[in-house]
Amino acid sequence: MFGFRKRRREKLRTKALKPEWKEILIKNVEFYNYLSDEMKKELHGLIQIFLDEKEFEGFDGLEITDEIKVTIAAQACILLLHRETDYYPTLHTILVYPHPFYSHIKQRLAGGIVVEGEQGRLGESWYRGPVILSWDDVRRSAHDHNDGHNVVFHEFAHQLDSESGANEGAPLFPNRSRYIAWARVLGEEYQDLLDHLKHHHKSDIDDYGATNPAEFFAVVTEYFFEKPIELKQRHPELYVQFKNFYKLDTVAMMLTHKN
């Protein structure tokens, strides 16, 4: 079984991407234009494996099209570039709504207070899948690469986080030394964000990152891909940790593209 899957993946990885799919990438995924030709070729292979192995379901009357699948798959696979991966192994289904959707939440606040209710959502990522997305917001955030927000990067960062066995802002690392450096830097930066909010000071890192370490990881992932120059200038150690984890120098990529 595993040998068959490996051979199938190798075949898909070297298969030429459909020209119409390339047009979707150029039109819808701004970050795609920052990739070198070599990285684009690698991404094309990742996309085809992803689409072969994952199912898409539309809700509230949304018809799943190639545009929806390719736009989402491309951004999910950008997080996998240059990395050894099993293509989000516990994720099988991506659920897509046409607009923001409502989800029942249960949140524990300070003092033991528990708040429950319906909350509008742009995306959700469940431990071991599925991922749920609003197509309106996928399209908007993929096309606007300078707003610092990207719902697909955010939700699929949670999927990477869960590969360690828990959603706690510490994805799977090959050795303990990497984890120690990660925990030190992200722990300090997370606490700094909490202190900013406690004293009513504005931080360049989105306030939602203060929810918990898992959300901090997902929010900074957005920052790393969307506004890397600012991240490197303001949080150099944080940038290095994400550069090492994702094996991409997003600052160099952006500067090369601008030149």
- 208-220 confidence digits (pLDDT tens): 999 999 999 999 9
Look at residue 113 in the predicted model and tell me its pLDDT: 53
115 in helix, strand or coil? strand
Look at residue 1 in the predicted model and tell me its pLDDT: 56
**Rounded mean pLDDT, 59-83:** 96
The pLDDT confidence band at residue 67, using thresholds 50, 70 and 90, is very high
**Cα–Cα distances in angstroms (integers) from residue 257 to residues 5, 121, 123, 206, in the given order:** 36, 33, 29, 26
What are the extents of the domains in the chain? 1-141, 164-259
Is pLDDT of 119 > 60? no
**Rounded mean pLDDT, 222-239:** 96
CA angle 134, 223, 23 (to 5 degrees): 55
Look at residue 110 in the predicted model and tell me its pLDDT: 47
Is pLDDT of 108 > 50? yes
The pLDDT confidence band at residue 222, using thresholds 50, 70 and 90, is very high
The pLDDT confidence band at residue 121, using thresholds 50, 70 and 90, is low
What sign for the dihedral angle of Cα 167, 170, 171, 172? negative
The pLDDT confidence band at residue 105, using thresholds 50, 70 and 90, is low
166 in helix, strand or coil? coil
The single-letter code of the amino acid at 95 is L
What is the distance between the alpha carbons of residues 236 and 103, in angstroms, rounded to a whole number?
A: 36
What is the distance between the alpha carbons of residues 163 and 37, in angstroms, rounded to a whole number?
A: 29
Is pLDDT of 118 > 90? no
Structure tokens belonging to residue 55: 């199912």
The pLDDT confidence band at residue 62, using thresholds 50, 70 and 90, is very high
What is the distance between the alpha carbons of residues 214 and 166, in angstroms, rounded to a whole number?
A: 9
Q: Which of 44-58, 98-112, 162-176, 193-207 has the highest mean pLDDT?
A: 44-58
Superfamily of domain 164-259: Collagenase (Catalytic Domain) (3.40.390.10)
Is pLDDT of 116 > 90? no
Look at residue 153 in the predicted model and tell me its pLDDT: 97
What is the distance between the alpha carbons of residues 205 and 194, in angstroms, rounded to a whole number?
A: 11
* Strand-strand pairing, 55-58 and 93-97: parallel
- Contact between 180 and 174 under an 8 Å Cβ cutoff? The reply is no
Is pLDDT of 114 > 70? no
Is pLDDT of 145 > 80? no
Is pLDDT of 107 > 60? no
Structure tokens belonging to residue 170: 């510490």
Classified by CATH at the fold level, domain 1-141 comes out as Cyclin A; domain 1 (1.10.472)
Look at residue 259 in the predicted model and tell me its pLDDT: 63
The closest of 65, 70, 71, 94 to 159, measured between CA atoms, is 94
Structure tokens belonging to residue 67: 């545009």
102 in helix, strand or coil? strand
